[in-house]
Amino acid sequence: MSRIAAFIFRRKGRNGWHWTDIVTWIWLVGGLLIMFGPAVWLVGSSFKSPAALAEFPPTILPYVTQKATVEGYDKPLDLYDATLPDGRKAVLAEVRRIGVISQMVDPEKPGEIIKVNISQRTPVRTMAFATTNYTEPFTHFDFVRYLWNSVFVTVTATLITLVVNSMAAFALSKYEFRGRTFAMLLILATLMVPLSVIMVPLYSIVSALGLFNNLWGVILPTVATPTGVFILRQYMLTIPDELIDAARMDKASEWQIYWRIVLPLTAPALAVLAIFSVVWRWNDFLWPLIVLSRKELYTLQVGLSIYSGELNVQWHFILAMTVVTMIPVVLVFIFLQRFITTGIAGTGLK
């Protein structure tokens, strides 16, 4: 423990603060707040009640104002720490507020109204987790159905993406043919065309193929990605050609060279692409929204938009469900990141 502390608090200036120490600390702490702050706020806020979400100034952790039932009043009243005009402090319940004056009552002596300036009182608050934000959608929202649709789309699309893109990358990196560079440039050039440009023609194609309102209509247009081909091709270029010559001498077919030699050696790049693909497909919103119009086919992201109505946005449910939908992506990343190590392709040589 002391060694970790020593490691974290090491400074370049041995006795004082070197200017780089200050810059480093500001940079790293600032980065931590910018990167991690929103995630913490999201998780904290997903446990807030709608009233707490609307509160200003916002808080990170979920708090609720304590309430007390006072004799003679129908509804429970909010409790406040108030400073009385004579300087005493007491816990009082607010009956009503008129301008800057709050009419309060001592829960012990419900008959007597005490007038307190609103600047002289602060609400009594405790942390409370509104777990209903999580439980309620599971009962009246078809979460499991949407989850299954999302998982199906993500897993299938990612597997097809890996196979299709690695095949293209294999051909573009290991075969010599006329127009190879041009083909690669053409593939990369498609990166410049945004989805909104091809959306209408793509919709016509999907519709003509009868894939409208079908999960395959969400999967198939997304599986060939220029980014994936590029990542895998650049990685495959580093696999020595002599390995492929050796496999050819070993009577391996072109399929076996691809499947048994090149693909296992491309594992680190495949892991990167798998993470990308999972994140892309899981978070996809626009295209599934276009293709899927039947509620039982919705993916999670489309399903979540139910909570965002024209007049009323149910932020507490949206935040809670966003946390739930983030979990699989985080798990995939944790699982795959250990494959993103330096490749072993060169270790059989020399």
Binding-site ranges for another protein (CB under 8 A): 240, 242-243, 245-253, 256, 260-261, 264-265, 344-350
Rounded to the nearest whole angstrom, what is the least distance from the CB of residue 265 to another protein in the complex? 6
Rounded to the nearest whole angstrom, what is the least distance from the CB of residue 183 to another protein in the complex? 20
Q: Which is nearer to another protein, 196 or 347 (CB)?
A: 347
Q: Which is nearer to another protein, 273 or 345 (CB)?
A: 345
CB 231 within 8 A of CB 273: yes
Rounded to the nearest whole angstrom, what is the least distance from the CB of residue 259 to another protein in the complex? 12
Q: Which is nearer to another protein, 240 or 328 (CB)?
A: 240
Rounded to the nearest whole angstrom, what is the least distance from the CB of residue 350 to another protein in the complex? 5
Rounded to the nearest whole angstrom, what is the least distance from the CB of residue 341 to another protein in the complex? 13
Main-chain phi, psi angles of 34, to 5 degrees: -70, -40
Q: Residue 156 carries which side chain, given as an amino acid letter? A: T
Rounded to the nearest whole angstrom, what is the least distance from the CB of residue 292 to another protein in the complex? 40
What span, in angstroms and rounded, lies between the C-alpha atoms of 241 and 234? 14
What span, in angstroms and rounded, lies between the C-alpha atoms of 80 and 87? 15
Residues of the chain by 3-state class (helix, strand, coil), percent to 5: 60, 15, 25
Q: Which is nearer to another protein, 105 or 239 (CB)?
A: 239
Q: Which is nearer to another protein, 174 or 281 (CB)?
A: 174
> Pairing mode, if any, of strands 63-65 and 125-127?
antiparallel
**For residue 125, with 0-12 CB atoms within 10 Å meaning exposed, 13-18 middle and 19 or more buried, which class applies?**
middle
Q: Which is nearer to another protein, 52 or 263 (CB)?
A: 263
DSSP string over 148-197: HHHHHHHHHHHHHHHHHHHHHHHHHHH---TTHHHHHHHHHHGGGS-HHH
CA max distance for the chain: 99
Rounded to the nearest whole angstrom, what is the least distance from the CB of residue 216 to another protein in the complex? 33
Peptide bond preceding 221 in cis form (omega within 30 of 0): no
DSSP string over 249-318: HTT--HHHIIIIIIHHHTHHHHHHHHHHHHHHHHH--HHHHHH--SGGG--HHHHHGGGB-SS-B-HHHH
What span, in angstroms and rounded, lies between the C-alpha atoms of 203 and 293? 13
Rounded to the nearest whole angstrom, what is the least distance from the CB of residue 263 to another protein in the complex? 10
Q: Which is nearer to another protein, 269 or 318 (CB)?
A: 269
Main-chain phi, psi angles of 77, to 5 degrees: -105, 150
Q: Which is nearer to another protein, 107 or 268 (CB)?
A: 268
Which tokens in the block code for residue 258? 């691809």
Q: Which is nearer to another protein, 145 or 248 (CB)?
A: 248
Rounded to the nearest whole angstrom, what is the least distance from the CB of residue 249 to another protein in the complex? 5
